[in-house]
Amino acid sequence: MELEILYEDNHLLAVNKPAGLPTQPSPTDPESLETACKDFIKQRDHKPGNVFLHALHRLDKPASGIVLFAKTQKALSRVSAILREKSCVKIYTALVERRVEPGTIIHYLRHGEHMAEVCSPEAKDAKRAELIITDIKQISDDLWELTIRLLTGRYHQIRAQLSALGVPIIGDTKYGSQRSFEPNGIALHHTEMAFQHPVKTISVLLRSEPTWRK
C-alpha cells in the first residue's frame, strides 16, 4: 500500500491511516498500518534485521486519520509518558445527522462485547470518559461536522459517547447509525495532534484532512 507520511525524523513517524485498516496486526487481521510501515522502512532503508516501530496510540479500524509511531525506544517511553500526562492535544472530526450543543461531555464507560457501554459511575469496571465538542458546522441539510478534543482515551470512546447523545457517527452501524459512509469506514477522522517532541526542543503539530473535505 502507498503510505501518506505526515511527519518523519529519526525518532517518530506519523502516517495518515485509511479507514478499514487496523492500526496494529492481530490474529484475525494480520495486515495493518504498523506492518505496512515496517515493510516500507525496511525496504527504503535497506535494513537487514527487524524494524523497531511501535504505535503510540490506536485508531479504530473503521476510523481514519493521524497515527503516530515511535521509531526508537527512547521516543516510545517519552511519548507514552506525554500521553499518560495528557499533555498531548488530540483533535477529531466526525459527521452526524443533527446538531448538538458544544461543551464538555462526560460519561462512564465499560468494555462490553467488542463495544463500549455507557454505565453508571458505580458500575463494575466503569471508567470516566471525557471529551469536548469545541465546534459545530452544518455542511448540508442533514449533516453536521463536529470538532472534538479528546481528553481521555477509552475504548471506542467518541463512538459510544456520541451514540449516547443520540447522534451516532455516520456509518457507525455498531453504535446506531442507519446511514452508510465509505466502504469499511465511519465518518470519524483524527485531524490534529500537538505535543512536545520527545528528544528535540521543538513542538510538533500534525494535521490531516478528512476525506469529506477533499
Q: What is the mean pLDDT of residues 59-72?
A: 97
Task: Quote the pLDDT of residue 86.
Answer: 83
Distances in whole angstroms, Cα of residue 206 to Cα of each of 11, 86, 100: 15, 17, 27
pLDDT above 90: residue 208 = yes
With left for phi above 0 and alpha for psi between -120 and 50, is residue 20 left, alpha or beta? left
CA end-to-end span of the chain, whole Å?
20
Q: How far apart are CA 99 and CA 121, in angstroms?
A: 27
Task: Quote the pLDDT of residue 113.
Answer: 85
Q: Compute, in degrees rounded to 10, the torsion defined by CA atoms 134, 151, 96, 205.
A: 70
Q: What is the mean pLDDT of residues 131-136?
A: 98
Contact 188, 64 (CB under 8 A): yes
Which domains are present in the chain?
Answer: 5-213 (3.30.2350.10)
pTM: 0.95
pLDDT digits (tens, 9 = 90+) for 4-58: 999 999 999 999 999 999 999 988 888 999 999 999 999 999 988 899 999 999 9
Q: What is the mean pLDDT of residues 71-78?
A: 96
| Percent of the chain residues past pLDDT 90, beyond the cut | 89
Question: Mean pLDDT lowest for which of 65-69, 73-77, 112-116, 133-137?
Answer: 112-116
pLDDT above 90: residue 152 = yes
